[in-house]
């Protein structure tokens, strides 16, 4: 993880961590903006002609965001995906039903034919899973009732194989940190920096967990190097902040990609969900855990998420352009001590203030002071008080989550209105500092 300090000629003596602001033109989707032909080949609720591998290979990322998971609709005489609210499905052939349930118990593969029961799977949710897998470039994806339910399922899958040890790099989302540190699912965690991943591995290590850009400092990890250090141990990357618009971790060697789908994938602050994109073998085990533990996603949430994916590239790029401009202004502002912004860009900013961060929270009027992120409106929060409060104070500060750090999730408002609100909330300019480090009015 790199830190670059800008001198006073660049940004008024303010440090910008993890690279500087990127222009909107530099914030592009990864690779060639296409989607791997092998990704998400399954189209749920068959009945129309699914796209071929060649057709998927030809699609650009923005096109796939709109059409993935919907390929059969026109053949069904539909324009928008139906919402299937059934909890159970009739079957007059109980022998065949038993065979399908036995097959699921063996492999976790989705049962052939019509659905069986809502905990086994839902056609509306399956459309979202297909679409997300295609965007992340994986074979499959498995959706859950929340991001924490998704992470818990991954840990339970590995623990079921006797692999309870986890290697993790801080910072992570505060509740992810707590889940590991407290050992709530019987796991044991070793915290390390990216360079120490290989040395931290043990015979019973079942998972390596990183978040890049990290919540809330936006620190970035070389995912390819991390994947190499993992060897045969699966690397799980929390890709919530970047989304597949900015990076696809499987292209850099990750086996598992985690999203709090509540955030950018949904994008409107009205759905709670999580999802893991992965290979089909791991997906089968995740489905089995989901069935046993009940952390299923509601069909209406699946519908909202599929709708959210259609505008994901547009929303991320527009919000990222706003964020880049706010980074430029914050970096030049004497009231701001340091600005954190990832090299890959994005719509998340973290910044440290010289004054009282709680006064900034209390002073916003347009920006919403609330936990969460990734919505169309701009949100600000104080991580040490909310999202990372559950992390031990020394561990929190050691990971760079200081008491003056604020996290800003930039939305789609006009950037001039956002800056006017921030400018007012930041209050009077900070006093000048002499070379001795003494502050003078």
Query: Which amino acids are annotated catalytic?
Result: 119, 173, 238, 263
Q: Tokens 């800008």 identify what position?
A: 6
**What distance in Å separates the CA atoms of residue 60 and residue 70, rounded to the nearest whole number?**
16
Do the strands 188-192 and 205-211 form a parallel or antiparallel pair, or are they unpaired? unpaired
Alpha-carbon Rg for the chain, nearest whole angstrom, is 22
Six-digit token pair at 126? 């399956």
Tell me the β-bridge partners of 141. 277
Say which residues have a Cβ less than 8 Å from residue 402's Cβ, sequence separation at least 6: 352, 384
Q: What are phi and psi of 204, to 5 degrees?
A: -100, 15
Q: What angle do CA 289, 297, 93 make, to 5 degrees?
A: 70
Q: Is 113 within 8 Å of 103 (Cβ atoms)? A: no
Q: What are phi and psi of 289, to 5 degrees?
A: -65, -40
Do the strands 165-169 and 188-192 form a parallel or antiparallel pair, or are they unpaired? parallel
Torsion 62-66-69-70 (CA) sign: negative
Q: What are phi and psi of 353, to 5 degrees?
A: -110, 155
First to last CA, the chain: 36
Six-digit token pair at 215? 């919540």
Q: What are phi and psi of 409, to 5 degrees?
A: -100, 110
Six-digit token pair at 419? 């800056």
Q: What are phi and psi of 74, to 5 degrees?
A: -60, -35
**What distance in Å separates the CA atoms of residue 10 and residue 331, rounded to the nearest whole number?**
9
**Cα 106 to chain center, whole Å?**
30
Short-list 58, 3, 52, 12, CA closest to 32: 58
């Amino acid at each position: 993880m790199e830190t670059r300090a800008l001198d006073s000629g660049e940004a008024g003596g303010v440090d910008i961590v993890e690279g500087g602001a990127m222009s909107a033109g530099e914030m592009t989707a990864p690779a060639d903006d296409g989607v791997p032909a092998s990704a998400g080949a399954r189209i749920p609720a068959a009945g129309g002609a699914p796209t071929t591998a060649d057709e998927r290979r030809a699609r650009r990322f923005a096109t796939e965001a709109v059409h993935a998971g919907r390929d059969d609709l026109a053949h069904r005489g539909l324009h928008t995906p139906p919402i299937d609210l059934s909890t159970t499905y009739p079957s007059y052939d109980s022998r065949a039903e038993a065979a399908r349930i036995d097959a699921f118990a063996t492999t976790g593969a989705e049962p052939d034919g019509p659905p069986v029961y809502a905990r086994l799977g839902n056609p509306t949710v399956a459309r979202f899973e297909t679409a997300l897998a295609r965007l992340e470039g994986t074979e499959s994806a498995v959706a859950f009732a929340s991001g924490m339910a998704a992470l818990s399922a991954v840990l339970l899958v590995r623990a079921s194989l006797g692999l309870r040890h986890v290697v993790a790099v801080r910072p992570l989302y505060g509740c992810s940190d707590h889940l590991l540190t407290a050992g709530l699912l019987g796991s044991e965690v070793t915290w390390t920096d990216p360079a120490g991943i290989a040395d931290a591995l043990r015979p019973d290590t079942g998972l390596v967990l990183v978040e890049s850009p990290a919540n809330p400092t936006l620190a970035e990890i070389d995912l390819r190097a991390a994947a190499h250090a993992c060897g045969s141990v699966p690397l799980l990357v929390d890709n919530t902040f970047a989304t597949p618009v900015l990076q696809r971790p499987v292209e850099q060697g990750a086996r598992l990609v985690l999203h709090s789908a509540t955030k950018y994938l949904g994008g409107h602050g009205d759905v709670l969900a999580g999802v893991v994109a992965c290979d089909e073998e791991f997906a089968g085990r995740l489905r089995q855990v989901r069935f046993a533990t009940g952390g299923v996603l509601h069909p209406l949430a699946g519908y909202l998420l599929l709708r959210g994916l259609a505008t994901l590239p547009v929303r991320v790029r527009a919000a990222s352009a706003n964020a880049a401009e706010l980074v430029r202004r914050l970096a030049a502002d004497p009231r701001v001590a340091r600005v954190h912004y990832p090299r890959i860009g994005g719509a998340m900013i973290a910044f440290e203030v010289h004054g009282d961060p709680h006064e900034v929270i209390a002073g916003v009027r347009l920006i919403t002071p609330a936990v969460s992120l990734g919505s169309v409106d701009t949100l600000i929060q104080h991580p040490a008080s909310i999202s990372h409060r559950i992390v031990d104070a020394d561990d929190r500060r050691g990971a760079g989550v200081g008491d003056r750090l604020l996290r800003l999730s930039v939305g789609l408002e006009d950037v001039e209105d956002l800056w006017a609100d921030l400018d007012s909330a930041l209050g009077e300019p900070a006093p000048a500092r002499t070379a001795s480090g003494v502050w003078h009015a």
